[in-house]
Structure 1
Amino acid sequence: MLGRKERDQLELFITGSLKQLVPDEHVLARVDRVLDLSWLRQEVTDCYCANDGRPGIDPEAAVRLMLAGLLSGIVHDRKLMREAQVNIAIRWFVGYGLHEQLPHHSSLTRIRQRWGEERFRRIFKRTVEACLKAKIATAEVVHIDASLIRANVSWDSLTEQHVVDVLSENQNEDESEAEKTGRQSGKYKKVCTTDPDATMATNARNRRLEPSYKQHTAVDDKVGVILDVAVTTGQTNEGEMIEPQVDEVEAITGIDIKTVTADAGYAYAKVYGALERRGIDALIPAKAEPIKSRVPLRRFRYDAKHDILKCPRGRVLRPARPIKHGRFFYSKAKDCARCPLKGDCLSKGRVNKAVVVGNDYPALLRARRRRERWSWQDRRLYQRHRWRSEGFHGEAKTWHGLARAIRRGLPNMKIQAYLTAAAINLKRLAAALVALLLCLIASLDASPSASRGVPG
């Protein structure tokens, strides 16, 4: 018989909880089982007046609203509040009934401004501590990577700023060229007027520069828990961030890191040296030395014991003036006068050889030798780096709106990154809880008492 449903019938009374209408496997229902924000109210008490003004939004409800949006892929406050108006799962997760009026979207903006980025970082740290307590993270093997995040600006807001490099009188040609290495060249440099914190950057040479931020992430190897997140401007070099990030992970977890993996973008002598001094095994593929001369640096032999450099003909180059990340090694003019490699080795106008050697150059040499002897376990672990750290960036950008900044300014970008990482950690923790419950059910079903019908 063909049925009919009357759609204009109104309900007079509704009994029970909204939880009855939310499936147990819904992402918000699963996250609710592991989310604990009971500490938050005391944390933000100093941001509010105790006996004056209108009552503000409950702090836990505000954070739950932000997390619900990120878990659902809704990153803009206006769209989130429109969705929460009709979404029973979000209303139940936040704690609002069907008859209650939801906060205005601007309230979330004021809360972020009032609390500041540090309090949102503490929310993220709490999720890390919860994952460590649940033993789904060990913090012994850490994958570190960085990814660009497009700033929330238009191309019309970019202007050209004239850049003039003024060189000091005491800098000679070699030192000037060494300090220029790695900097963006060009007479004109584009800057963003609407978001000055965003800088021009790109992740490939065949792609144009875009106003961006850069997120540096440390991911645990076991199930992909995010242990630390740092956000900088787009032009910040990855090698400058790995050392403080390793220290931050050890401070958060209280565990000494045993192995760090990273891609070739971190293959700098200072990175290898810093990890060696901390007793950390660095699984970072060393890059081949760029050949800029007919007699490249790899043909020179460094003697760490005597701190000297020997040229291909066996002549000694001794250290002299230090620069930012290394030192100049100079040969004697009389040693180069009759050298058969003089025409290929010396630049025009020079009478002796000058070579820049990084401070941790021996560590770089050891890393290059070790790369040739990577074991099967080392190669396997480095493969895991790709689908742990790079997989996290893909997940955050595809499902949680981190492909583009929502708001402008570095503090707002940090808050977005902290909340996104916290939401993903809560997903990891909820999935681990479900897996644990399934294992317990399976073990009870397989027990002898269960098979005989005897109550356990």
Structure 2
Amino acid sequence: MLGPRQEAQAALFYEFSLENHVPQDHLLRSIDRFVDLSSIRAHLADFYSHTGRPSVDPELLIRMLLVGYCFGIRSERRLCEEVHLNLAYRWFCRLDLNDRIPDHSTFSKNRHGRFRESELLRHLFETTVARCIEEGLASGQRMAVDASLIEADANKQNSTPKEEWDASTVDPVDAPRAVREYLETLDEAAFGAASEVQPKFTPHSDPASQWTAARKGPAFFSYSDNYLIDTDHGVILDVEPTRSIRQAEVGSTKTMLLRVKDKFDLVPDWMIADTAYGSGPMLGWLVGRKIDPYIPVIDKAGRPDGSWTRADFEWDAEIDQYICPKGHALKQFRRNYSDPNRGPTGKGRAKYRAQKLTCQACPSKHKCCPNADARSITREEHEDARQVARDLAKTDDYVIAMKRRKKVEILFAHLKRILGLSRLRLRGPCGANDEFLLAATAQNLRKLAKIIPAPQQPAKS
């Protein structure tokens, strides 16, 4: 039997509670327990005027942004529409049915002004990290670092080749905001000062982004999102935007480790990374701070002719020399210097040579130096730290470390596939920083909600 037609009838009074209409197992209920915004007003107090019209509550803006990044809502226009329609979003943002939703332009106004001036998003991220540490999700004993390319909001059609680009001719007064930020970062190690090599193309809309073909496919403009994580549960301890080049990405590791130490007093026992971080200076910096580098060493000591490599020679640190497999010594200096400034310094590269007569008479010369009169070995400045990393690579802990390193790659996959941050919406280094911080905050909140779910309450009859 066909039922009666359903028609909406307006009622004079409604008894409605958002609390009763948000499911108990909704993700936002679990996230809400870990969102601490009590310090936001005090943090922003100096950036608001004491006179004028009341502003939009900054806590409301932050809650709406968290909703957007937790659920992959990239557009702020669409975010306002979704919060207007979705009851769970309204509940999380502390909005009643009759409360108005802020205009999307309010986000830009606050982001370009007081949010960046006060570093509010960094404060929000660090508050979330502190909560993860408080809940026991991050011990700081083992950390991993990696970088991922995030496509910038720029294209090649609106770019200039490096032969025609000259930053000194750009007028900061008339330039767009992203261009002004680019000019301000020319001396920063994470951007302009990271390398003297100029990119092949520079985009007009976001000149700080890097033209790269690192994905072995079509080249594009991008930023690098650098994560420092705790490998216990994959909590993101710090995040840093840089140019998409190895020097900037490796340099950001020092920045993040020092910042985590200053903010949370965390110094890892292990540092886990891939080969890109296995340079001598990076390993030396870690070993100098008593951090074990579980990192593959960048080593170009292999010889294409199949002769003995540096690894076949024994190093004697006490008398500063190498011993070849036949027992002959390779020394840096073969006489004593009356002036110590002319002798060995222990810094920089050092070249160790065998005596020519010894090598010429050696029956194993064809295995050692077939194309040279005598064998020589170059020892890098941080060779001791490189050897520490090589020795760690032979241990069982190294296998465990390489498995733990995959957690940072999983976070980047989650960032792009679930949160939808495969391409930036904001431009400039500050825009990249804002998006990376909010996305990392959302990932940590989702991690807390997953590992510590909200207690189920019986449904009300």
Regarding TM over 0.5, the answer is: yes
Residue-by-residue CA offset, 1:334-390 (whole Å, 9 max, x unaligned)? 7899797899656xxxx9998754321122123223313x21x4413421220x111
Does the 8 A contact of 1:159 with 1:192 survive in 2?
yes
Out of 381, 387, 391, the residue aligned to residue 365 of structure 1 is: 387
Quote the offset at 1:202 in angstroms: 3.9
Comparing 239-248 with 288-297, greater Cα deviation is found at 288-297
Aligned mate of 1:270, from 275, 281, 285: 281
Q: Which moved more, 1:36-45 or 1:89-98?
A: 89-98
Q: CA deviation at 1:303?
A: 4.4
CA distance in 2, matches of 1:21, 1:5: 26
Equivalent residue, structure 2, for 1:169: none
- Measured in 1, the distance between the counterparts of 2:4 and 2:296 equals 67
Partner of 1:48: 48
Say whether 1:395 aligns with 2:410.
no
Mapped contact 1:129–1:253 kept (Cα < 8 A): yes
Residues 322 and 331 in structure 2, CA contact (< 8 A), matched pair in contact too: yes
Cα deviation 1:17-45 (Å, max 9, x = unaligned): 32222112222222112211011011111
Indicate the residue corresponding to 1:419 in structure 2.
438
Cα deviation digits, residues 412-439 of structure 1 (max 9, x gap): 111111111111111122233327x48x
The CA deviation at 1:227 is 0.9
Q: How does 1:247-286 map to 2 (within 5 A)?
A: 247-286=258-297
Alpha-carbon contact 2:199-2:210 (below 8 Å) kept? no
Identify the range of structure 1 (299-308 vs 83-92) with the bigger mean alpha-carbon deviation: 299-308
Q: Does residue 385 of the first structure (1) align with residue 396 of the second (2)?
A: no
- Aligned residue runs from structure 1 range 28-427, under 5 A: 28-52=28-52, 54-114=53-113, 115-116=115-116, 118-162=119-163, 189-204=200-215, 206-237=216-247, 238-289=249-300, 291=302, 294=305, 298=311, 302-308=315-321, 314-317=329-332, 326-327=348-349, 329=351, 357-372=379-394, 374-375=395-396, 377-386=397-406, 388-427=407-446
Q: TM-score w.r.t. structure 2 length?
A: 0.78
CA-atom RMSD in angstroms: 3.6
More displaced 10-residue stretch of structure 1: 15-24 or 400-409: 15-24
* Counterpart-to-counterpart distance in 1, 2:209 and 2:199: 17
The answer to whether the 8 A contact 1:328-1:354 is kept is: no
Measured in 2, the distance between the counterparts of 1:307 and 1:195 equals: 51
CA contact (8 A) 1:144 1:218 kept: yes
Q: Give the C-alpha shift of residue 190 in structure 1.
A: 1.8
Contact 1:159 1:190 in 2 (8 A): yes
SS in 2 for 1:10: coil
Gaps of 5+ in 1: 165-181, 442-456
**SS across alignment from 1:395:** helix
Distance 1:75 1:220, change over 3 A: same
Structure 1 residue 189: deviation in Å?
Answer: 1.9
Q: Is the 8 A contact 2:283 2:385 kept in 1?
A: yes
Identity %: 28
In the superposition, the TM-score normalised over structure 1's length comes to: 0.79
* CA distance, structure 2, for counterparts of residue 369 and residue 363 of structure 1: 10
Letter of the 2:144 partner, please give it: H
CA contact (8 A) 2:246 2:276 kept: no
Contact 2:228 2:253 in 1 (8 A): no
Q: Is 1:214–1:231's contact at 8 Å kept on the other side of the alignment?
A: yes
Structure 2 SS opposite 1:216: strand
Structure 2 contact 223–242 (Cα < 8 Å) conserved: yes
Q: Secondary structure at the match of 1:104?
A: coil
1:429 equivalent in alignment to 2:448? yes
1:302-330 Cα shifts (integer Å, max 9, x gaps): 544344567887443359999xx942537
Residue deviations 1:94-143 (CA, integer Å, cap 9, x gap)? 12222232111111011111120722101000001111111122111112
Call closer, same or farther: CA 1:327–1:119 in 2, change over 3 Å: same
CA shift digits 1:36-68 (9 cap, x unpaired): 10110111111110112x221101000001001
Number of positions where the alignment pairs a residue of Structure 1 with one of Structure 2: 411
